[in-house]
A = this chain, B = another copy of it.
Amino acid sequence: MMEERHPYSATLLIYCEDRSGIISSVTDFINEHDGNIIYLDQYVDAEENTFYMRIEWELEKFIISPDKIDLIFKESLAKKFQMSYRLYFSDEKIRMALFVSKLPHCLYDILSRCQSGEWDVEIPLIISNHEYLKPVAEKFGIDFYYFPITPENKREQEEKEIELLRSLNIDFIVLARYMQIITDDFIKSFPERIINIHHSFLPAFPGAKPYHSAHKRGVKIIGATSHYVTADLDEGPIIEQDIARVTHNDSVKDLIRKGRDLEKIVLSRAIHNHFKRKTLVDKNRTIVFN
């Protein structure tokens, strides 16, 4: 209702070793089959000699049927240039799982965007290590799963979570102020598909209680950072950051209040970039196509 319908289109996210002729080969491939390119952005990491590209084209007159694009692209181009790539279609409904603990602001923001139609994303479930936000899930009519975590049961609980997420065909996971460290095994099950929000301007103030640290250090600006989750806590590739000015007048409580707005907006921008297929991870950096 909010977002107008886009034309039916396909999107390719590509990366490979850089060499001559990639762009012209890919654009030729689309043109020759009567596809109308509506988006092209590319980036070359000169140090690493790696080529990255996002290209989107309308399928209306494209003479290859959608179910054959993957195979034909692979055979005619991807093999030649040894490309890694992902192919998406605009009519696929993306499915997101939310992990929360006790803080509701990011959760409300995400649910509001989905239910108002601002985002065309399905949320089949919310998972939490507390029952605290169950009423919010109910208010929005979304299934809420309570997985209490203790050091003893963590592995077991995570395995159940993974099973549940897979059974529901979850595409990606958002840790919306989920106050639990997740294990490497869990992360490996959803590589580059778990998005976290950290309530500081990383790499400043990693770990717990960043607003307290920021206040103590007397910074004049606070921040929030959304990143893909990797095995190294708060070290994953950054998708989006933003900041707010503070003064000596701001108490820790004021920083927390100002930070809440930062957190929810930064996280939502990162989620938007992810489900719009605008992101590719390049070692520990996120390419965010414009």
Q: Give the interface of A toward B (CB within 8 A).
A: 2-4, 20-21, 23-25, 27-28, 31, 36-38, 40-44, 46, 103-105, 108-109, 112-113, 116, 118, 136, 139-140, 201-205, 216-221, 223, 237-243, 245, 247-249, 251, 253, 257, 260-261, 265, 268-269, 282, 284-288, 290
Known: A42-B40, A105-B118. A238 touches B220 (CB 8 A): yes
Known: A108-B108, A261-B268, A265-B265. A218 touches B201 (CB 8 A): no
A245 engages B247 (CB within 8 Å): no
A221 to B251, CA, bound (A): 24
Contact residues in B for A140 (Cβ distance below 8 Å): 139
Number of copies of this kind of chain in the complex: 4
Contact residues in B for A204 (Cβ distance below 8 Å): 201-204
A223 to B36, CA, bound (A): 33
A55's nearest neighbour on chain B, judged by CB, is: B23
A/B interface sample: 6 pairs, CB < 8 A: A23-B37, A24-B25, A27-B27, A43-B248, A202-B219, A203-B204
B220 engages A240 (CB within 8 Å): yes
